[in-house]
Structure 1
Amino acid sequence: MNILKTTATAALLLTSASTFASTISFSSGLDDVCTTTGCDLTDQSFYTYVAPGDGASWIQDNNAWFNIHAEYSIYEYDFSTSSTDYSIDSLSITFDDNVIITSGTSVIFDSTTVGIIDPWTVYTDVTSLLTSTFISAGDYLTFYVDNDRGLATGVAWSGTATSVPEPSMIIALGLGLVAFGVRRRKNNDA
């Protein structure tokens, strides 16, 4: 009977721990926000661009097309109002010409340091290339685009992220496990 109680309690604790985390999906679209002054977001795609998939849309600053070294930045709106920390599970992108991705003030991906050939013709999973997968509460992913060829330009992305439990929740779970162990030991001694 004690083994049955112990197993049921452990299952309940593990189930409770898993409910602390939730997964969200995010993708590029006109609901994301351009942070560049005078930015005019559009979702047109050039005839050589790959279809990004996963519900993502090509987005760009309309004023940056065919302007060499025109730069603009767009942030992923889904993280902007969150009061929760997240960990990126997956991130795929396609871009034209260069892109730097930041989380808060930290650069987590720089296309100039990786060898993606003709990145506008492929949709690439860059999860393993990220220098960090952590997004602090209140921060968001920002995509800085540089039109270094002076032709068409744009970016599309999609991914998933899982919320990171708050430390107080982890402490509460730990205290629960300690209490469970003390009670079990007390029952075994009796």
Structure 2
Amino acid sequence: MKRILLSITGAICLGWIGLSQAETAPALVIQVPESFYQHPVRLLNPYLNYWHNRAEAAETVGLSSFQAQKYTTSSCEAEAKGQALVVIEPNMFYNPQTGVFYSEITAKVYNTSAADSALGKPLLTVKGEGQSRGWLTYNVEYFTHQSYQRAFDQVIQQLQQNPVFQQSVSQGPIQTYDALCNSINTLSQPKAFF
């Protein structure tokens, strides 16, 4: 009986030691500015037009992409707590002659939570591009998500290779980014994207 109790106690202690030494995943807040929700993109094809809401698609794919790379993510609508704020600016274009969806993701990273930091330069800006073959007549959202996924893979790869970003998320404190999220939503976006 004593051996069983000692082995159970030893296993519990080893489990606690393992938990205390395990690193926590970096926490990121993901935001797509409100203006991208208000202005969907029109994907053109002869005799067929499709309005694509790029903000919803990019936010969904972005959250799942960062979570797949072991980042803890939240959005500005939820708790908005993390070590950095990643502002996503999605863009989508469709070429009807070749049947290719082209996506571009611009990610701006902020590590200060003050509202006035939105007016200044972000900590870093990276771009990723993706392509996916498909047609507007069949399963458009799947092909756009696939294109966004490839663009996010490039963005995340660039972020992971950047020492400034790695230092910011590994050593930075967890902050609340509500004020910065609200100030970014009030800024106007370039008209070239709409």
- Normalising to structure 1: TM-score of the pair? 0.36
- Considering fraction of residues, name the structure with more helix: 2
Which of 1 and 2 has higher RCO (CA within 8 Å, sep 6+)? Answer: 1
Decide which structure has the larger Cα Rg and report it. 1
- Normalising to structure 2: TM-score of the pair? 0.35
